Amino acid sequence: MEIKYTNDGKKVVVIGNLNSQEKIVQEVFIVNGNEVPSGENFVVKSLHDSPAKSWKETRLEEIEQRYEKEYKENEFKLENLRKTFNATCGVISEKIRSNRMLEKNMKPEDLNILIDFITGNIKYLLIDTYGSLEIVEFDKSIIQHDYYGHFEAIKLLSVLGRSDGNLEYRLHQYSDGSGGSHIVTPFKDRESALQALKDKFFEKLSNCKNGLSNDLIKTAEKYGIEIPKPNLDIWNAEKLRRINDNIKKLEESLEGYKQQKKNLTTLTNQ
């Protein structure tokens, strides 16, 4: 059975030759999923080995494919533009809100501190690292060292406008702002820094559930702060409880080993 295709795309079976130029064919239909020659025979002058498409059909398909491709590309670009636009609007809105809060809440002393930074009058930083407090010299604290301990760069010191409009200074680990960072409070003299450290110390002390912490004890020892007796009593009582718990566990463990030794001795003597 010879299969061919007509100019208009019909799949046909060649029945025979009518003459040297024309052929008798029968169209192929799909019946219950199978290809079956059916219908009346008809005569055609030209046949093709595969479905033929006109120039117009081919061009229309090319145009449609190009349209689909360009449409998807433009849709992707438009979505990216929407995201960029929304993100930009968010940043602008946040800047406006932050500036308004700064204008509303910024105190004269905040501006003076900023001016002292610019003019080089800041000499000390109070670093708040979660549980501990430390006073460091400004010029030494901002130096970033390389692997061999040599000077490499100046660490980034950033001023962030917080949501409540107050300025917050952060000393970063590296000059590019990467790594961790700590909140710092700038001072022109060590006496002011020390007083602020003590105030912060007692603020943290009041928030400690166990009365104290190892970091606060180290801070108190380093800066000569007298810890209130009630807080020391709570801390010592908690330490004593932990020591007693450890002693009890060790005694239980020791009794277990003694029993194992006794059992082994009994088995050996049998």
User: Would residue 178 be called left, alpha or beta, if left means φ above 0 and alpha means ψ between -120 and 50 degrees?
Assistant: beta
Residue 68 clears pLDDT 70, i.e. is over it: yes
| pLDDT at residue 106 in the model | 66
Distances (CA, A) of 226 to 23, 127, 263: 115, 20, 55
Question: Does the structure show a pLDDT above 70 at 165?
Answer: no
What's the average model confidence in pLDDT over 67-88? 88
Among 120-129, 171-180, 225-234, where is mean pLDDT lowest?
A: 171-180
pTM of the model: 0.53
Coil, strand or helix at 263 = helix
Confidence of residue 153 (pLDDT cuts 50, 70, 90): confident
Most confident of 17-26, 145-154, 177-186: 17-26
How do residues 185-212 score in pLDDT, each as one tens digit? 899 999 999 999 999 999 888 887 767 8
Q: In the structure encoding, which two tokens stand for residue 111, read together? A: 């501006």
Question: Nearest-CA neighbor of 182 among 202, 160, 161?
Answer: 160
- Looking at per-residue pLDDT, the higher value among 267 and 34 belongs to 34
pLDDT on residue 195: 94
Q: Cα(117)–Cα(88) distance, rounded to whole angstroms?
A: 31
The pLDDT of residue 90: 79
- What average pLDDT does this structure show over 157-162? 67
User: Please, what is the average pLDDT of the chain?
Assistant: 84
Task: Name the DSSP class of 225.
Answer: P
DSSP string, 81-99: HHHHHHHHHHHHHHHHHHH
Residue 158: pLDDT band with limits 50, 70, 90: confident
Cα–Cα distance for residue pair 71/82, rounded to 1 Å: 16
pLDDT over 80 (residue 98): no
- Given a contact cutoff of 8 angstroms between Cβ atoms, the answer to whether 146 and 174 are in contact is no
What pLDDT sits at residue 97? 66
**In whole angstroms, what is the distance from residue 193 CA to residue 141 CA?**
15
State the DSSP H helix or E strand holding residue 29, giving kind and residue range, or none if neither. Answer: strand 23-31
Span 213-257, pLDDT tens digits:
888 889 999 999 998 888 888 888 888 999 999 999 999 999 989
